[in-house]
A and B are shown apart, each in its own frame.
Chain A
Amino acid sequence: MEKKYKAPLSHLLNPGHSACAGCGMIIAYRLVLDAAGQNTIVTNATGCSEVTTTQYPMTAFKVPWIHSLFENSSSLASGIWAALKYQKKDKDINIIAVGGDGATFDIGFAHISGMWERGDNVLYVCFDNEAYQNTGYQYSSATPLDANTSTTPPGKRSLGNQSYKKDMIKIALAHNLPYVATATTGYPLDIGVKVKKALAIKGPKYLQLHTPCVPGWGIEPKDTINVAKLAVQSGFYPIVEYTNGELTGKIKITKKVPVEEFLKLQKRFKHLFSSEAGKLEVAKIQKLADENIKKFDLIQ
């Protein structure tokens, strides 16, 4: 009989970690590592992906893995790349640097730019759950418009976060990376394909994964995949792929849904559905999604 599923402990990120039930990040992380294979060294920024996996003296990883600080997983990866070159092992080993959106869009931003500019042979993977979820759902510059985070709470004078999500994809492209892509827990098989494609290319690569956060977004654990898919099918989070600066791939919208369907499943947008002002904000978010659909030509 054909073996359909891997035994639980045969992955490179194993059960026993303390991520929430339904965590979009931990699913994506396992898929990234299984696609990369065991000839991989991983550097991890501080955050959920680190604290849920490596509580001393335990570890969930079966690949060499290092965590130093919040903002330097990219710099560590550059150092490992230099060391492998010095040891003449650079042809055989993958290096993956990992960080959440806070580590990537905010605190570690300069160091990622430095690594990209140097052209180091590293795949940087961002788990984008759109806020500092590990410290209790605070705003990051990856937080979308109007989201309720613990530092952008809605109130009498606020409708949540009033800034627009930073466009890291454009920033990555401005560094002339040979490979830049988004993927999502909503389309798990696409993650593995993109990791393999990226690792086959020499130079710096950027992969940004949209990973729903059950407590941070205020969703049911059973809805992780569904919410992530609705983000794509509404145009809210376009899944695209750039090779050498050219748009070479995208996940097409098979049946366009209004952003409302995506927003309504999440407590972080609940406040938009109780006032007229909120409705106007939903219209703004819909406009952003429609612009994405137009820009990337997402309708099938």
Chain B
Amino acid sequence: MKIFKLKIMSKILEGSRAIAETIKNINVGVVSAYPITPQTHIVEELAKLKADGQADFEYVKAESEFAAISILVGASAAGVRTYTATSAQGLLLMTEVLYNVAGMRLPIVMTDANRAVSAPINIWNDQQDAVTMRDAGWIMMFGEDIQEVCDLHVLAYKIAEKCLLPVMVNLDGFVLTHVVEPVTVPEMAEIKKYLPDFKLAEKLDVKNPLTLGAFATPAHYMEIRQELHDDLVASKNIMAKEMKEFKKVFGRLLTLVEYYGDQSAETVIIAMGSVLGTIKETVDEINNSTGGAHHGVPVQKVGVLKISCLRPFPVEEILKLIGDKKNIVVIDKSVSLGEEGTLAGEIRRVFYGRSKANITSVIMGLGGRDITKETILQAINLAKNRNDKAVFIGK
């Protein structure tokens, strides 16, 4: 009978459906969105849940992504929990509002189904869209699989409402949004144990009229922006604590960073998102191979560092886990054009003055290009040599 019970808890769902059910269970009050591939399935499922009477949120049809996120500004300021989802061009169109949301300290949570940005126009997955928002003042999280993405949404609302900071949960478009996996959707009863009802101390209220969004002269602007920065820095420890609380209620582990593979490895490969699955499999094969070269890779142990949070960036946690490693390969599905991978730049900053590790920036998977075990091995092969310039590996 035990097996039967397991079946009830875990469902086989498309990623987008699992996210939509999670958002419904979180008890969101206002959803507003504009369709863009590969985000569409998420908002379609939410609209269907509403149409079928399974959810009581207001669904506001927006005329653009700019409008969708602006609608949430009004709804959130009026004291209601809010949600939107988008991808690529939609996220870029939201840019002005995203900065504004953080400055106004509104606890909005959104999903970015990561997709390449135009030009050339391309609907497939990479993470260029998300990394362009790195400095907007949002907490930026990246999920590896559908289960983790669902769990990160629950965590996101907790952190957002506790820190009064907006949170963006990222997942790889198509790779996770359109794939079907077994997943345990966080139940409403469990979420209630973890996430208190939405209460905003400073909101639009006719009984207590406040002015929100005042303009600040040079005499005040800087302190307000510094406060936002300080609170974003401080949110990291709150997140770590809330991840432990999450484990107590849901029994699943969430981490800012996670080390995988051989502890004694001198070479570590770093990445964010769903590509970690392929990386882990490749590394397992390397670490488990007995003698001889494996696909041309000399016998060596390799570790993997998964990063789940780009902002705030878990600097101390990274150093603690891999500060003594010799060779670092950072795999980015984005590029700071003219420089190197976005995550690679972050890692270089973390290691500067603290380590003499060889750090190699590898750009892979742009615009939906497949990342295979073979291309991962090519990346690992670069580890020992000093590479000051980004290396693009496509095939």
A interface residues, Cβ below 8 angstroms from B: 38-41, 43-44, 50-51, 54-59, 61-69, 71-72, 75-87, 93, 110-111, 113-114, 117-118
Contact = CB atoms under 8 A, between A and B. Distances in A.
Contact of A117 (B63, B70, B213, B214): B63
B67 A80 contact: no
A64 B216 CA distance: 18
Contacts of B350: none
A79 B76 contact: yes
B179 interface: no
Closest 9 CB pairs of A and B: A79-B74, A114-B63, A75-B70, A76-B74, A83-B78, A67-B213, A72-B70, A79-B75, A59-B211
A111 B208 CA distance: 28
Contact of A56 (B82, B205, B217): B217
Interface residues of B, number: 44
B67 A66 contact: no
Contacts of B67: 72, 75, 78, 110-111, 114
B70 A79 contact: yes
Contacts of A41: 78, 204, 206
Contact of A83 (B70, B74, B224): B74
Contacts of A77: 74
Interface string B186-206: 000000000000000000111
Nearest to A82: B58
B164 to A, nearest CB: 16
B206 A40 contact: yes
Contacts of B56: 86
Contacts of A76: 70-71, 73-74, 77
B6 interface: no
B211 A84 contact: no
A68 B80 contact: no
Most-contacted residue by chain A among B71, B74, B77, B212 (CB, 10 A): B74
B104 interface: yes
B57 interface: yes
B64 interface: yes
Contacts of B76: 79, 83
26 contacts: A41-B206, A50-B215, A55-B217, A56-B216, A57-B220, A61-B211, A64-B208, A66-B74, A66-B204, A68-B213, A69-B100, A72-B67, A72-B70, A77-B74, A79-B32, A79-B60, A79-B73, A80-B204, A81-B74, A82-B32, A86-B57, A86-B80, A87-B79, A110-B63, A111-B67, A118-B60
A207 B272 CA distance: 50
Interface string B59-90: 01111101100111111111110100000000
Nearest to B72: A79
- Report which residue of A38, A66, A77 has the largest number of chain B beta carbons within 10 angstroms of its beta carbon: A66
B119 interface: no
A77 B63 CA distance: 14
B176 interface: no
Q: What's the dominant secondary structure at chain A's contact region?
A: mixed
B337 interface: no
A107 B344 CA distance: 38
Nearest to A84: B78
Nearest to A59: B211
B197 to A, nearest CB: 12
Given A64-B212, A66-B77, A68-B74, 10 more contacts: A66-B74, A66-B204, A69-B96, A75-B62, A75-B70, A79-B71, A82-B30, A84-B78, A86-B57, A86-B58
Contacts of A55: 214-217
A46 to B, nearest CB: 8
B73 A72 contact: yes
Given A59-B214, A61-B211, A111-B70, A80 B77 contact: yes
A80 B57 CA distance: 13
Interface string B348-367: 00000000000000000000
Most buried by A among B63, B210, B220: B63
Contacts of A86: 29-30, 56-58, 75, 80
Contact of A63 (B32, B74, B100, B209): B209
Given A76-B77, A79-B30, A61 B72 contact: no
B206 A67 contact: no
B96 A111 contact: no
A39 B206 contact: yes
Nearest to A61: B211
Contact of B75 (A56, A67, A80, A93): A80
Interface in B34-75: 56-58, 60-64, 66-67, 70-75
A46 B116 CA distance: 32
Task: From A43, A93, A114, name the one whose CB has the most chain B CB atoms within 10 angstroms.
Answer: A114
Q: Which of A65, A75, A110 has the most CB of B within 10 A?
A: A75
Nearest to A58: B214
Contact of B215 (A51, A62, A64): A51
Contact of B71 (A38, A67, A78): A78
B84 to A, nearest CB: 11
A61 B217 contact: no
A84 B58 CA distance: 10
A177 to B, nearest CB: 16
B152 interface: no
A16 B88 CA distance: 44
B97 interface: yes
Nearest to A75: B70
A81 B204 CA distance: 12
A61 B209 contact: yes
Contacts of A67: 212-215
B75 A82 contact: yes
Nearest to B217: A55
B136 to A, nearest CB: 14
- Interface centre among A39, A41, A79, A82, by most chain B C-beta atoms within 10 angstroms, is A79
Contact of A54 (B64, B205, B215): B215
A68 B64 contact: no
